Amino acid sequence: MYSTPRSRLRGGTLLGFAAGLLLGLALALLVALYVTRSASPLEERNTQRPAWSAALEAEQNRNWNPNAGLSTRPVAPAGVQTPDATAAPPVAPAPAPAPAPAPAADPLAQLIEQRTAAAAAAAAASPATAAAAGISYFVQAGAFGSADEAQAQRARLAMLGLEASVSERQQNGRTVFRVRLGPFATQTEADAIGQRLQAQNVETALVRVAR
């Protein structure tokens, strides 16, 4: 008598489970169909907008300032330049450098100049001063190891219209024959003869001899 109700209860449970499973599958199928047919965001981005929409957006963005919220200064219209507050101020020209001080006098150069001036003054001394000191001047036209060479040099000078003499002297144990012109009372006369001989390619030397 009690077995029949229990069988009916078990059969109803199985039917309810099967019905729920079928209902879930149906709902999943509907959701899949909806997602497949609906347009994706990427497809919407690739769709072309009408020309009037792009022109309207360009007109709205023409005077758009991205820094409008960051600055309190008014935005200047296009074509008008405003001074830049961050620009560096003009730099004043640097003053001209002070002239360098003159170099200190060179004591060595001064000493050389003094000695040169003293030598020039001594050379320009008057003939009377040289005569008073008892000095005679000779122009030596060469010194030779043999008398024949000395005589040949003397003859050459005679052809130039100059009279010379030959003198002997012992030097380092050897006899030297000197050819000299003079004596001259002043150095000026001796220098003139020396320059004349040098013009004829004759080597000369000025000799001072005390009387």
Residue 161 lies in a domain: yes
Q: Domain tally for the chain?
A: 1
Residue 2 is predicted with a pLDDT of: 47
Residue 166 domain-assigned (yes or no): yes
CATH number reported for the structural domain that contains residue 150 in this entry:
3.30.70.1070
What's the pTM? 0.39
pLDDT at 1 (0 to 100): 47
Q: Report pLDDT for 105.
A: 64
Q: Where in the sequence is the domain holding 188, given as residue range(s)?
A: 131-210
Average confidence (pLDDT) per 10 residues, the chain, 211 residues: 57 78 86 70 53 68 61 52 55 68 67 75 57 82 94 95 94 93 94 94 92 73
Q: What is the pLDDT of residue 77?
A: 53
In a domain, 90, yes or no: no
The answer to whether position 200 is within a domain reads: yes
Structural domain contains residue 183: yes
Domain presence at residue 65: no
Predicted local distance difference test score (pLDDT) of residue 203: 92
Answer whether residue 146 is part of any domain: yes
Tell whether 173 is covered by a domain. yes
The pLDDT assigned to 153 comes to: 95
Q: For residues 178 and 144, what is the distance between their CA atoms, to the nearest angstrom?
A: 6
Q: Among candidates 202, 211, 96, which has minimal Cα distance to 158?
A: 202
The reported pLDDT for the residue numbered 6 is 61
Q: What is the pLDDT of residue 43?
A: 47
